[in-house]
């Protein structure tokens, strides 16, 4: 039941991280961002996941501290990954 929400959450996270990225990411960085967004989406607790229900990718992440923190973490991880 929550697989479609996790796919949506992954897409929302991917777009949010790209928007928060300090410069235009390289192709390698985009691939890594996509991978990490997908991993994070599949690890989301049910409560956070339910916040994306009814949202669109263009809506961005839900206005909740947990989501803002997750995007910041994914950006920081991406910027600190060697070779990206």
Domain ranges of the chain: 3-79
Nearest to 49 by CA among 40, 15, 58: 40
Other C-beta atoms within 10 Å of 70: how many?
A: 22
Residues 6+ apart with CB under 8 A from 66: 48
Tokens 């923190």 belong to 69
Nearest to 21 by CA among 57, 58, 74: 74
| pLDDT tens readout for residues 40-58 | 999 999 999 999 999 999 9
pLDDT surpasses 60 at 73: yes
Residue 75: the pLDDT is 95
């Amino acid at each position: 039941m929550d697989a479609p929400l996790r796919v949506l959450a992954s897409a929302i996270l991917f777009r949010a991280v790209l928007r928060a990225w300090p410069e235009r990411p390289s192709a390698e960085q985009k691939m890594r961002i996509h991978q990490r967004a997908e991993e994070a989406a599949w690890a989301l607790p049910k409560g956070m996941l339910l916040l994306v229900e009814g949202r669109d990718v263009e809506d961005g992440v839900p206005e909740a501290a947990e989501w803002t923190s997750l995007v910041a973490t994914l950006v920081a991880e991406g910027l600190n990954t060697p070779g990206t």
